[in-house]
Amino acid sequence: MQIAMLQDKIVPIEDLEPVYFDRGIYFGDGVYEVARSYDGKIFALKEHLQRFANSLAAIGITGVDIDEVRSRVHKAFEAAGILNANIYFHITRGSALRKHTWDASLEPIFFLTVTESGDNADDKAKGIAVSTHPDWRWRRCDIKSLNLLANVLARQDAAQKGCAEAILVDEAGLITEGSHSTFFAIFGQKLQTTPLTANILPSITRKSVIEAARNIGLTVAEQSLTLRQASHADELFIAGTTQDIVAVVRFDGQVIGDGKPGKYTMSLTQEFLKFTV
């Protein structure tokens, strides 16, 4: 008899819910998105859905109707009635007894949550401390895959050091991005961030931050930063969907600027928020 064990209970395999065989659990075999709403309006959903479609295509999950995903997002968002929400959704390749290869007949599994987006006003007002961590991730970080173990370990390491984000550093000593955010530096009137390669996620917020930077007269250099450069920046910040823009005031213990959110970080935040209205 083929069996499974759930905690201490033996269950015949055929009695298990399909969710226990989700390839997302065994292999992280799926892709996800996180969008958010500001005062009842979902920000950049079109871009999130486009990236979702790209991620699905990159790992060969086919047959997903993106228009259907869009309408599920709207339906769930309206049902939740949360004005400032994080909308998380993923699709895994399907459910099957564990084996590495998959059959074309598998049906993708959709899952979504709508939750309150946390209040990070305090972090934004005071700025955060970050610590660095080796980037242990795979070489296709442009795919928003469910495989987040390297991100999770780095983020937990930062938390244990009293830091609010882990900044990932590749083998050449260059900063890639944060564990769940994009990393930016400001030198004079220049905004600098990692170029879009397979090493980082093509962040939706990053795109808007770059647009906001140009709007306020900053030049933009898409160029990787060394640790030394970052620690000598005039201003540092991270950006991502769930937190938009948050100043970094300590980098591996070193105080950045005067230890408070910098003037360009603050005006970029104002400019960015205009896009969310």
User: Catalytic amino acids?
Assistant: 144
Query: Any idea how long the chain is?
Result: 277
Among 22, 29, 31, 34, binds ligand PDD (CB under 6 A): 34
**Rounded least distance, CB 249 to ligand PDD, Å:** 20
Q: Are 31 and 61 in contact (CB under 8 A)?
A: yes
Nearer to ligand PDD, 205 or 231 (CB): 205
**Rounded least distance, CB 193 to ligand PDD, Å:** 11
Binding of ligand PDD by 23 (CB under 6 A): no
Binding of ligand PDD by 37 (CB under 6 A): no
Phi, psi of 262 (to 5 degrees): -80, 165
Binding mask of the shown chain, residues 205 to 244, with x at each position contacting ligand PDD by CB under 6 A: xx---------------------------------xxx--
Sheet holding 41-42, edge to edge: 41-42, 30-38, 85-92, 109-116
Binding of ligand PDD by 155 (CB under 6 A): no
Orientation angle between helical segments 263-275 and 204-215, nearest 10 degrees: 110
- Cα–chain-centroid distance for residue 127? 19
Among 201, 210, 218, 236, binds ligand PDD (CB under 6 A): 201
Nearer to ligand PDD, 94 or 240 (CB): 240
Q: What is the C-alpha to C-alpha distance for residues 245 and 262, in angstroms, rounded to an integer? A: 12
**Rounded least distance, CB 200 to ligand PDD, Å:** 6
**Rounded least distance, CB 140 to ligand PDD, Å:** 12
Among 180, 191, 247, 262, binds ligand PDD (CB under 6 A): 180
Q: Which of 135, 136, 147 is nearest to 176 (CA)?
A: 135
Q: What is the C-alpha to C-alpha distance for residues 272 and 211, in angstroms, rounded to an integer? A: 8
Residue with tokens 């049906």: 107
Nearer to ligand PDD, 147 or 229 (CB): 147
First vs last C-alpha separation in the chain: 58
**Rounded least distance, CB 23 to ligand PDD, Å:** 19
- Cα–chain-centroid distance for residue 86? 12
Residues that bind ligand PDD (CB under 6 A): 34, 177, 180-182, 201, 203-206, 240-242
